[in-house]
Chains A and B, each alone.
Chain A
Amino acid sequence: GENVEQHPSTLSVQEGDSAVIKCTYSDSASNYFPWYKQELGKRPQLIIDIRSNVGEKKDQRIAVTLNKTAKHFSLHITETQPEDSAVYFCAASKGTSGTYKYIFGTGTRLKVLA
């Protein structure tokens, strides 16, 4: 069935360093890839997304890259800050070509050490 693998499960970085989280999806029909940040006790919040017709997207310190051939996509956070500490989830969806259903990755707990 459809599956999204996410690595690593935990990641600790020093403040100011970069963090990279990687996801691999199984369904080649997937065309929309959002990333969510979930702070403790809070709802998941969309932080960035990418569609299959784009290879890279950047928003200030956050960027996402997509390799459709390899079915990989990655989240890059530069100049990390303590407030970046949270759990990050990737997801894959077929969007308008199917349902809007998301398949979520297993999550990455990011700790930014001051």
Chain B
Amino acid sequence: SAVISQKPSRDICQRGTSLTIQCQVDSQVTMMFWYRQQPGQSLTLIATANQGSEATYESGFVIDKFPISRPNLTFSTLTVSNMSPEDSSIYLCSAVRSSYNEQFFGPGTRLTVL
């Protein structure tokens, strides 16, 4: 299995600011994803982080609000821009190796926007 770390683990931010979340995987993976999980809810896919190219966003999520980078095979960032209290959630990254479809999740970043 892959070991995935995220930074920060939690943050409290002011409305209108931005936060960048980092995701690091311990070995090369094919796919990396970013999810949002509201308290007591399921996981909602934000986007697929593509290495060296623009991320692929799901319906309801746009690049201006959630810019994503993936400069190499083991690292990705998600920025939550111009935050509002509605952005308060847990943000998780995940990774997949091409040899198997199994997704491993990072520990999550708990974001609170005041």
State whether these chains interact. Answer: yes
List the 9 closest pairs (A to B, CB-CB), nearest first. A95-B101, A43-B105, A100-B96, A32-B101, A100-B31, A104-B43, A104-B42, A106-B42, A107-B42
Say if the beta carbon of B19 comes within 8 Å of chain A. no
CB distance from B63 to the nearest CB of A (A): 18
The number of chain A residues touching the other chain, given as a range, is: 20 to 34
CB distance from A5 to the nearest CB of B (A): 11
Q: Establish whether residues A101 and B43, one from each chain, have CB atoms under 8 Å apart when the complex forms.
A: no
Instruction: Report how far A99 CA is from B94 CA in the complex, Å.
Output: 14
Across chains A and B, the number of contacting residue pairs, with CB separation under 8 Å, is 47
Say if the beta carbon of A85 comes within 8 Å of chain B. no
Task: Type the 1/0 row for A88-101, where 1 means its CB is closer than 8 Å to any CB of B.
Answer: 01000101100111
Instruction: Report how far A105 CA is from B41 CA in the complex, Å.
Output: 10
Binding site of A, secondary structure by majority: helix, strand, loop or mixed?
mixed
Q: Establish whether residues A100 and B103, one from each chain, have CB atoms under 8 Å apart when the complex forms.
A: yes
- Residue from B41, B92, B103 in contact with A34 in the complex, judged by beta carbons closer than 8 Å: B103
Say if the beta carbon of B67 comes within 8 Å of chain A. no
Residues of A within 8 A of B96 (CB): 100
Q: Establish whether residues A43 and B107, one from each chain, have CB atoms under 8 Å apart when the complex forms.
A: yes
Question: Whose C-beta in chain B lies nearest to the C-beta of A95?
Answer: B101
Say if the beta carbon of B13 comes within 8 Å of chain A. no
Residues of A within 8 A of B98 (CB): 96
Residues of A within 8 A of B33 (CB): 101-102
Q: Establish whether residues B41 and A107, one from each chain, have CB atoms under 8 Å apart when the complex forms.
A: yes
